[in-house]
Amino acid sequence: MAAGRNGFWQRILGIDRRWIFLLVGIGTALPLIFPVNLPVAASPRVKAAYNAIEAVPEGSRVLMSLDYEPDIMAELQPMSIAVLRHCFRRHLTPIILTLYPAGPGLIERALAVASTAEGAKNYQDYVFLGYKSGNQAVVLGLGENIKGLFPKDFYGASTDSITLMRHVNSFTDFPLLIDLSGSTIADYYIRIGASRYHRPMILGATAVMATDYYPYLSSRQILGLIGGMKGAAEYERLMGIVGDARRGMDAQSLVHVIVVILVLLGNAALFATGGIKPRIGGGS
Amino acid sequence: MRFGPLVVTFLTGAVLIAIFFIPHHRAQETQSVILEWADIVYTFALVLGSISLWAMHQKKVQQKGEGWIYSVVTLVALLGVTAFGVIQGVEAGTVVGRIYNMVNAPLASTMFSLLAFFIASAAFRAFRARNVEATLLLVTAIVMMVGRVSVGEFVWKGFPPLTEWLLDVPNLAAKRAVAIGIGLGAISTALKIILGIDRSYLGRS
């Protein structure tokens, strides 16, 4: 009997990883096909980001840097759409740019979704400056001469001729900076835009990166932090919309539960087969 | 022979540090220009990288090496995307725009999403409570995995506040310590190079 039980746990320990892949695949696909719409509670950090945009006077221009590429679009694209929609709803004018060469394609898609949903129009409600290479040099330049850095916008119009770009040429002309980033570009904006030019700033980052920016949040160098798909889903909830992030949270929830069950099973199997000896103290 | 590079390093380092603390716009413009020089160097690296990529894959195709057909795809993609980008531009509606939306974006997302499968498999095999430290890590990981998704609240109302505490207290303390450590380390390394104490970047004498 004991040998039979041991055999079961041995089989669990030696499970083919393809079964795990299949479980994860089903766990991802099922909630996307049959959404449950699990409730999402907004965290204080996301609420703070939302409130920072709420606090900007109507009609103001905000500088928005969307610095990511397709590899992390699952997390940051829904975030961009939600924040853009919030800006449009509040009648703020985002001046958008990216420091990633593969970013413009994603930004155009995000703008198409957000502007269709909120009825916003290019050159009336937003300006898309496009991509500029140079990372830190560009962020430094944004503090001095935006039109010098971007003589033309993404669609080829001279920035001098764009009405919305009048009286806008440096960080100091914006009451809020927004950076949604999947890299250390966020550091440049914090170091230069938020710290040197004392601009209020909110940050969106991937879930893995978000924890790196908690110190800046507690030092008030950033006012709010949207972390990963969960943060985007919280933002969508605050906006009262159901976007890709809220739809994705069902899948993420189920996959997390599957991983936790697998980890617990693995440990139970190891314990049952004598791989883990109960003892007090450390050591490997 | 070494005096010149040491002087250049000292002057560049000292000037850049000074500029950082000078808020005058001339100083900021100077810093931007210097950083653009770095960009120009990167551009040369891009050209060099492209030539190297071309040479490597061309050789593989000529020798019909293992997986040579993939090298053909690489060469065609490199040449085609560059040519269309130069001729038509990269905006939406152009060939490069379509390639980006229909090939690059789905491929890059797919590659990254495969991580979920490998992480699940790796977690099953590696997350084992073999000692106190590993058990602490395991328990924290489980709390975070359950507490940071919507289902956590259903399981136990205390999960979300517990994850917030983990992020706001132990995580924040550790991140601050790491940030301060990295900062001090970077300052000391930079000073050693600027003052000529560390000359390893000059190569062997």
> pLDDT tens, B166-190?
998 999 999 999 999 999 999 999 9
| Position A280 pLDDT exceeds 70 | no
Q: What percent of chain A has pLDDT over 90?
A: 71
Sheet holding A224-227, edge to edge: A127-131, A93-98, A61-67, A177-181, A201-205, A224-227
- Return the top range by mean pLDDT from A65-74, A171-180, A245-254, B91-100: A171-180
CA angle centred on B142, ends A237 and A216, rounded to 5°: 55
Contacts of B35 in chain A (CB under 8 A): 134, 136-137, 140
Option in A39, A136, A256 nearest B145 (CB) = A256
What's the CA gap between B94 and A128, in Å, rounded?
18
- Domain residue ranges in chain B: 1-88, 127-205
pLDDT digits (tens, 9 = 90+) for A89-128: 999 999 999 999 888 889 999 999 999 999 999 999 999 9
Domain annotation covers residue A66: yes
Domain that holds residue A103: 44-245
Quick check: A230 and B138 CB within 8 A? no
| CA end-to-end span of chain A | 31
Domain annotation covers residue A13: no
Q: Which band of pLDDT confidence, cut at 50, 70 and 90, is reported for residue B203? A: confident
**How many angstroms away from the CA of A58 is the closest CA of chain B?**
30
CATH no. for residue A128?
Answer: 3.40.50.10160
**Could you give phi then psi for residue B94, rounded to 5 degrees?**
-80, 170
ipTM > 0.90 for the complex = no
* Preferred mutation among A11, A259, A262, A270 to probe B, highest tally of B CBs within 10 A: A259
Which distant-in-sequence residues (6+ apart) come within 8 Å of B152 by Cβ? A253, B146, B159, B160, B163
Quick check: A211 and B175 CB within 8 A? yes
Lowest-confidence pick of A6-10, B82-86, B121-125, B133-137: A6-10
State the pLDDT at residue A282. Answer: 41
Contacts of B111 in chain A (CB under 8 A): 71
Quick check: A212 and B175 CB within 8 A? yes
Domain annotation covers residue A193: yes
State the pLDDT at residue A277. Answer: 59
Mean pLDDT (whole number) for A127-151 = 89
Quick check: A214 and B133 CB within 8 A? no
- A19 or B26, higher pLDDT: A19
Quick check: B150 and A133 CB within 8 A? no
pTM of the model: 0.85
What's the CA gap between A205 and A183, in Å, rounded?
8
Q: In total, how many domains does chain A have?
A: 1
Domain annotation covers residue A263: no
